[in-house]
A and B are shown apart, each in its own frame.
Chain A
């Protein structure tokens, strides 16, 4: 299994749709997880942190399944501005801050 694996997409959805992205990770010792958003040719920006079973922030919900080593991101009521690449990010278990990035899932929201 790759360290962090995502379906690259692209996901093409209409405005208002609900869309879910999945991510699997290989290190069972990982304690925290992140979803970052990256716009084209820009830096990654933190969308959500996930430390326990899940987290919700407005239209965005992240869920964690430690037994299956699987994280998901759900976006409800998609907006045009949600079009971006969503990066699943897992810190390594060593105490150095190293982040392992998935290859990202591209979302295109259409009017």
Chain B
């Protein structure tokens, strides 16, 4: 069964450093998403992406965040200058169509020290 994959599974970084989280969505999916979950809190939407453009972004997704689909398979989330409050689990998701089920990757646990 096809699945969304994410790397790395864990990332520890110093405050102010840049991080890139990588995702490989399911191959025939066209819509891509990033969500985050701070420990003990609910899953929060960050951004949706379709046809090489951001469709919607949340208030959390400020100028420090960017997304890219550098080739036909990868989908990345970059945080330019990490803050302590960026520590969270980051989930990538993809769907074939906009209203169809979103399938989530296993997540990257980011810890900012």
A residues sitting closer than 8 Å to B (CB atoms) are: 32, 34, 38, 41-46, 49, 87, 91, 94-104
Contact = CB atoms under 8 A, between A and B. Distances in A.
A97 to B, nearest CB: 5
B45 interface: yes
Interface of B: 31, 33, 35, 41-45, 48, 50, 55-56, 58, 89, 91, 95, 98-99, 101-107, 109
Given A43-B105, A43-B106, A98 B56 contact: yes
B55 to A, nearest CB: 4
A34 to B, nearest CB: 7
B104 A44 contact: yes
Given A44-B43, A91-B99, A103-B41, A97 B55 contact: yes
Nearest to A43: B104
B107 to A, nearest CB: 5
Contact of B107 (A43, A96, A100, A101): A43
Contact of B56 (A38, A96, A103, A104): A96
Contacts of B98: 95-97
A92 B56 CA distance: 11
A99 B102 contact: yes
A91 B109 CA distance: 25
B106 A34 contact: no
A101 B33 contact: no
A32 B99 contact: yes
A91 B48 CA distance: 12
B95 A87 contact: no
Contacts of B45: 98-100
